[in-house]
Amino acid sequence: MEFSRNVVLVGPMGAGKSTIGRALADELGVVFQDTDTLIEERTGASIAWIFDVEGEEGFRDRETATIRDLAASRGAVIATGGGAVLREENRRLLRAMGAVVYLETSVKQQLSRTRRDRKRPLLRSGDREEVLRELLALRDPLYREIADLVVRTDGRGAKSVVQEIMEFLRAP
C-alpha cells in the first residue's frame, strides 16, 4: 500500500501511542516520529528536566515548535504527547497534517501502563489516579474534537489496534 498521508496519534499517556505508532509505521512502510523524542533530541534534555527548568509552558512552547516543523511531513506516523491538544494552534496543525487517530484508554489501564514510569512530570506528585482522571476530563473532548477515528486500546495488543487503523485507512 503506497501511503502518502500522515497518521497522527493522539491520546493520554499510557494509551500506547509510541508502541502502536512504531508498529503502524512498520506496517505502512513509513517513518515514525514521536514529538516527545524529537524534543528531547533537540534539547539534549529529558522532558522531566524541561518541565523542571522551563515549566509546563516552556515545554508546550517547544512542543508547538516541533509540531509546526512536522506539519510539512508526508507519509509519516506521528505520535504526540498527551497534552499536545491543549493548544488550539496544535489542534489545527494536527488536523491539517493527516488522519488523526485518538487512542482511547481508561484511567485504570493508564495506571497499569505507567505504574513504574518515573519520567512523566505530571505524575510525579499527588494521587496518580486523581491526576489522570483530571487530565482525561480536560483532554478527552479535545482528542475527540480532532479525531477522524477513535480506537479503544484497553486490553488489546498493538497488532490488533494497528489492524483496526489499517482498515480505516484502506476504506474509500
Q: Please, which residues bridge with residue 79 across strands?
A: 9, 34
Q: Mean per-residue pLDDT for 28-38?
A: 96
Q: 23-27, 96-100, 132-136, 148-152: which range is least confident on average?
A: 132-136
* 133 vs 69: CA distance, rounded Å: 31
Query: What local confidence, expressed as pLDDT, does residue 14 receive?
Result: 82
Where does the chain show beta strands of DSSP type E? 6-10, 31-34, 76-79, 98-104, 149-152
* 38 vs 35: CA distance, rounded Å: 5
* 162 vs 23: CA distance, rounded Å: 7
Query: Which of 2, 13, 4 is closest to 117 using CA atoms?
Result: 13
Average pLDDT of the chain? Answer: 90
Q: Please, which residues bridge with residue 104 across strands?
A: 152
Query: What local confidence, expressed as pLDDT, does residue 5 receive?
Result: 85
Amino acid 145 reads: E
Question: pLDDT tens digits, residue range 79-103?
Answer: 999 999 999 999 999 999 999 999 9
Question: pLDDT tens digits, residue range 44-62?
Answer: 999 889 988 999 899 999 9
Query: What local confidence, expressed as pLDDT, does residue 109 receive?
Result: 85
**Is the per-residue pLDDT at 10 higher than 70?**
yes
Q: Mean per-residue pLDDT for 17-21?
A: 95
Q: How confident is the model at residue 112 (pLDDT cuts 50, 70, 90)?
A: confident
**Is the per-residue pLDDT at 122 higher than 60?**
no
Q: Mean per-residue pLDDT for 155-171?
A: 95
Q: 18 or 118, which is more confident?
A: 18
**∠ at Cα 73 (23, 16), nearest 5°?**
30
Structural domains present in the chain: 6-170 (3.40.50.300)
Q: Mean per-residue pLDDT for 160-171?
A: 96
H or E element: which one contains 93? Answer: helix 88-97
pLDDT over 90 percentage in the chain = 70
